[in-house]
Each structure stands twice: as structure tokens, then as C-alpha cells.
């Protein structure tokens, strides 16, 4: 079973202070890029894997989805998600994505934001997702970029004043990485880009889009601290079609 770090009270408390927790989708700098990869969802059913507070589920309803299902492992996240809506067409469920069973041909969009890099096993989930999509349906997801997750001891190095680099090591050694993010010992799974792509193609997906996210010039102008994020991509965004 996946480490359920979001039910760690210290982690949950610290996570709640992040811009993306307070401002929702607009607090996530990669959201505009991810949104641009979404198919039309009006009058369709949508599934969100790792829904957290449910920001995307509510957004999907506001943008015309008939029903939205949000799955998460964290009781604390789901309690917060449920407290933020009384929309009967949004269903929040607690499930472990590594063992989940999904209804076949049920969704036009399966969405997942920054969740899959917590999962040890993705192949069975991708198989379920492929079966759960209608023909022409899309899986659109973000994960921490493999350049970001590769190092055993991640962090910026400033070799000259103002010149930052991100030392990559162990890129081809996939598996768990224990990092200190908000609390000590958060376990993430490092996979290469090739592995993400291969897992999708082997399930019969067609790769529709692959994006290595960095902030735009406008985002840097508004928030200069983001500039460093152009030295190495923080997020990998993928759209795949059935």
C-alpha cells in the first residue's frame, strides 16, 4: 500500500499552507498548461485520481461535467473536500489507487495531478484507466518530473553566485526516494520519462501530448522566485488518448 503521508497530521497541516492549498487551482503554476491539455468535458463524466481537497472536481462541475468522481487515500483530504461542496453530482471516495477497480467505459476524462509519483505500481492502474475510458477518452496527468525525482539527495547547487544547477544522479535507477518535503521521510517513486511513456503505450494509449513544465515569462514577471524553475523542469504533464 502507498504511504499515506497526507493523513500525517504534521504533513497535512503544512500542506494546507501551500499556495495551491489556499488558492486552489490558481495557486498551482502548472495549472494553465495542464488545463490546456484537457478535452471538452461538458455533459461528460470525469474521474480525478488523487483529488485532494477536490478543487479540480468542483472546477469540472463548474465547467459542465455531468458527474465527477474524486478518489483519494487520505481521510483528512476527503473530509476537507466533502466540506467544500454539497453538489450531489460530485462523489468523493476513499480508495487505494494501487488496488482500485474502475467501471468500464465510464469516463471521457481521467485526470490526476501530482499523484502517480507516490504509487509503487502504475501498470495495473493504467490498465484500469484505459478500460474505464470511453473510446476517444483522455488520461491527462501531471507528476513530478523525473529530473526532479531522480537524485537521492535532491537540491539546488549554486556553483557561482546566482548560477544554480540541479545535480542529477541515479536517473536510470528507478524506485523509492525518501525526501524531506514538509516533513521528514516522504516516499516518492522515481520513474524515467521513458517508463511513463512505455506504460501508457503498452496499455494501448496513444500519446497526444508531453510537456515538461516551466514557468512562462509572464509568470516569472509576476513571481520572480519562479525563474529558477527554468533550470530544470519541475513537472511532467502528459495527455494520452484511448
Is 54 one of the binding residues for its own copies (CB under 8 A)?
no
Question: Closest approach of Cβ 208 to its own copies, in Å?
Answer: 7
Is 221 one of the binding residues for its own copies (CB under 8 A)?
no
Size of the residue set binding its own copies (CB under 8 A): 34
The interface mask with its own copies, positions 102-141, x = CB under 8 A, is ----------------------------------------
Among 26, 75, 123, 169, binds its own copies (CB under 8 A): 169
Is 198 one of the binding residues for its own copies (CB under 8 A)?
yes
What is the C-alpha separation between 90 and 53, in angstroms, rounded?
Answer: 12
C-alpha grid cell for residue 218? 509572464
What is the C-alpha separation between 69 and 115, in angstroms, rounded?
Answer: 16
Question: Closest approach of Cβ 209 to its own copies, in Å?
Answer: 7
Is 165 one of the binding residues for its own copies (CB under 8 A)?
yes
Among 167, 176, 185, 224, binds its own copies (CB under 8 A): 167
Q: Answer for the pair 235, 213: CB distance below 8 angstroms, yes or no.
A: yes
Q: Answer for the pair 237, 142: CB distance below 8 angstroms, yes or no.
A: yes
Q: Answer for the pair 8, 2: CB distance below 8 angstroms, yes or no.
A: no
Is 99 one of the binding residues for its own copies (CB under 8 A)?
no
Amino acid at each position: 500500500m502507498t504511504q499515506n503521508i497526507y493523513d500525517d497530521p504534521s504533513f497535512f497541516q503544512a500542506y494546507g499552507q501551500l499556495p495551491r492549498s489556499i488558492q486552489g487551482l490558481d495557486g498551482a503554476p502548472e495549472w494553465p498548461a495542464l488545463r490546456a491539455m484537457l478535452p471538452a468535458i461538458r455533459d461528460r463524466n470525469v474521474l480525478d485520481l488523487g483529488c485532494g481537497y477536490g478543487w479540480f472536481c468542483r472546477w469540472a462541475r463548474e465547467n459542465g461535467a455531468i458527474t465527477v468522481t474524486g478518489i483519494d487515500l487520505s481521510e483528512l483530504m476527503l473530509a476537507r473536500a466533502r466540506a467544500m461542496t454539497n453538489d450531489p453530482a460530485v462523489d468523493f471516495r476513499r480508495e487505494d489507487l494501487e488496488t482500485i477497480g474502475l467501471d468500464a467505459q465510464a469516463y471521457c476524462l481521467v485526470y490526476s495531478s501530482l499523484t502517480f509519483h507516490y504509487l509503487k505500481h502504475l501498470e495495473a492502474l493504467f490498465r484500469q484507466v484505459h478500460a474505464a475510458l470511453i473510446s476517444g477518452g483522455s488520461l491527462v496527468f501531471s507528476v513530478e518530473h523525473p529530473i526532479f525525482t531522480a537524485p537521492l539527495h535532491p537540491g539546488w547547487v549554486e556553483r557561482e553566485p546566482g548560477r544554480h544547477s540541479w545535480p542529477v544522479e541515479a536517473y536510470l535507477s528507478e524506485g523509492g526516494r525518501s525526501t524531506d518535503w514538509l516533513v521528514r521521510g516522504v516516499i516518492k517513486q522515481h520513474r524515467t520519462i521513458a517508463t511513463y511513456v512505455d506504460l501508457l503505450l503498452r496499455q494501448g494509449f496513444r500519446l497526444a501530448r508531453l510537456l515538461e513544465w516551466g514557468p512562462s515569462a509572464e509568470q516569472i514577471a509576476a513571481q520572480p522566485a519562479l525563474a529558477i524553475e527554468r533550470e530544470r523542469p519541475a513537472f511532467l504533464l502528459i495527455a494520452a488518448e484511448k
